[in-house]
Structure 1
Amino acid sequence: MIVVTGATGGLGGATVEHLLERIPADRIGVSVRDAAKAQHLADRGVRVRQGAYEDPVALRDSFDGAEQVLLVSGNDPAADMVGLHRNAVEAAVAAGARRILYTSQHGAVPGNPYRPSDIHIATEAILGDSGVPWTALRNGAYGPLDQVLGPWQRTGVIAQPEDGPVPYTDRADVAEATAVVLAGDRSFDGPVTLTAPSAVTFDDLSRIASGLTGRSVKRVVPDDEQWVADQITTGVPEPMARLMLTWYQAARAGWFAETGPLLAELLGREPRTVADRLAARIAA
């Protein structure tokens, strides 16, 4: 059995959908905080059990019988995510899982100034000490492009801090590739990189957006502190704005520039490009 955590979230839920296309439903389990929200999966034959990273006992029950467990990383900046991930790893080991997979982050290496990198680095170390074979899926940035570009469609301007090359990756592609890894015969030990095949900058994106819209989309580079102040005026708490600033700082220093062919290999096709994604956003 393959057990997936976070199956009512975006990445976990999409991964389960792709698993259902590849293996029988009775070989899939999900560990979710609220079982009622996963009723649509139970109705299709998926085993649904309640489990939260804060509750090691429930986690062990939800992982029971799993050959593989996919731990979808948490992202609550106010929580002790390393401790919660440790609970999940220990529960998977106690349940007898033969392999633990973890959704890590592209560029999760020491020195990266983007603060969530520390969580992934620490969690990968916990996995390494677990005594169980493990895989860390270092996924490229797969959030909505509007989160990093800002309201460019309305303003005609990409006004974000100085950046650097990033292989922005489609979440749907990441989910499909994750399902391929879980359901396939090929094992991956340790960290592997799953990214779009090319890294682009905001200058590149402004040119792409201009070509797709037929109007000039300008790239403006505000000072870091001015950008933080602007975020605060729009209602973003200062700690969150400064956390996001470390992402731009990491990008400009090249921490996210690496790309790799594995995502395309797993998909059996080329992943969606930023041009594809922007075109879909414009057409929506």
Structure 2
Amino acid sequence: MIIVTGANGQLGRRVVDRLLTRIPAERVGVSVREPHRAQALANRGVRVRQGSFTDPASLAHAFEGATQVLLVSVDKMGEETVREHRDAIAAAVEAGARRILYTSQMGASAASHFQACRDHDATESALRACGVPFTSLRNGFHAASALLLLGSALETGEIALPEDGPVCWTTHDDLAEAAAVVLADEGRFEGPTPSLTAGQALTFADIAALATELTGRAVKRTVVSDEEFRERMVGQGAPDEVADQLLGIFAASRAGEFGAADPALPALLGREPVTMDTVLRDRLSGGGA
């Protein structure tokens, strides 16, 4: 049985949907914190069990009978995140999984300017040491994150953010489909994959130009200092630590950590990945990435 964690989340839910087009539902299980929110999956024949990275004991039941476990990385950063990932890896090993998959990120490195990438590197080190074959999906930077950073810029006509560098913005849908392909073809990748990215790296100046073209009105890219951005985030209620972590995205992109496109994702999908102009069109029409 293939177990997918975080199946109520943006990525995990999409992975399960695409996995169900490839293998029978009785071969799919999910580990979720709130099983009642996964009732639609249970209705489709998926095994739904409660499991949380913050409660390692719960994972023994959630992972029972697993042949493969996809660990969807938690949506936070720091030492606690890595500890939770290590506990989940240990639970997958204990459950007898013959392969562990993990949603990592392009740029995963102990030397990254972005905390999440340092966390992913630490988790990959734990995977290497766990004694079970693993696949680390080096996902491109989520296009949804670009939309969050844009905020209301498409409406105000100004993108006011720190200096950045090119980023291969990649949709949840494409990354979920790739994960499902890899899960259904066990052993296709050993260890970290190549970067799973969209085909083009864009700066926020590029995104401003796309938005201008799509909306028919000028969208200006304004560079603010790191400190000004940090003060703005804190003023809007973000904790100091979170503001610093967000700044890490810009420092890492300036260093070129997210700018190298790779052909691995289109090869997995059998088509070109969704482009940022499509993501912006969806955003403007009320959709999402």
- Category of TM-score, reference length = shorter chain: over 0.9
Report the 3-state secondary structure (helix = DSSP H, G, I; strand = E; otherwise coil) of the residue aligned with 2:162: coil
Offset, 1:185: 5.0
The residue number in structure 2 matching 1:161 is: 162
Gaps of 5+ in 1: none
TM-score between both structures, scaled by the size of structure 2: 0.94
Aligned mates of 2:113, 2:51 — CA distance in 1: 32
User: 1:140, 1:167 within 8 Å by CA — same for their partners in 2?
Assistant: yes
The residue number in structure 2 matching 1:131 is: 131
The residue number in structure 1 matching 2:104 is: 104
Q: Deviations over 1:251-273 (max 9, x none)?
A: 01111112211111111111100
The residue number in structure 1 matching 2:150 is: 149
Aligned mates of 1:33, 1:56 — CA distance in 2: 12
The residue number in structure 1 matching 2:237 is: 235
Aligned mates of 2:20, 2:169 — CA distance in 1: 26
Identity of aligned residues (%): 50
Counting matched residue pairs gives 284
Offset, 1:60: 1.7
TM-score between both structures, scaled by the size of structure 1: 0.96
Offset, 1:149: 2.2
RMSD: 1.4
Offset, 1:78: 7.0
User: 1:150, 1:160 within 8 Å by CA — same for their partners in 2?
Assistant: no
The residue number in structure 2 matching 1:174 is: 175
4+ residue segments displaced more than 6 Å: none
197, 200, 225: which one aligns with 2:199: 197
Aligned mates of 1:109, 1:151 — CA distance in 2: 32
Offset, 1:160: 0.5
Offset, 1:238: 2.6
Aligned mates of 1:149, 1:55 — CA distance in 2: 35
Report the 3-state secondary structure (helix = DSSP H, G, I; strand = E; otherwise coil) of the residue aligned with 1:221: strand
214, 217, 221: which one aligns with 2:216: 214
Offset, 1:236: 2.5
Q: Deviations over 1:169-225 (max 9, x none)?
A: 011111111111111255201111211111111111111111111111111001111
User: 1:150, 1:159 within 8 Å by CA — same for their partners in 2?
Assistant: no
Aligned mates of 1:217, 1:263 — CA distance in 2: 30
Report the 3-state secondary structure (helix = DSSP H, G, I; strand = E; otherwise coil) of the residue aligned with 2:96: coil
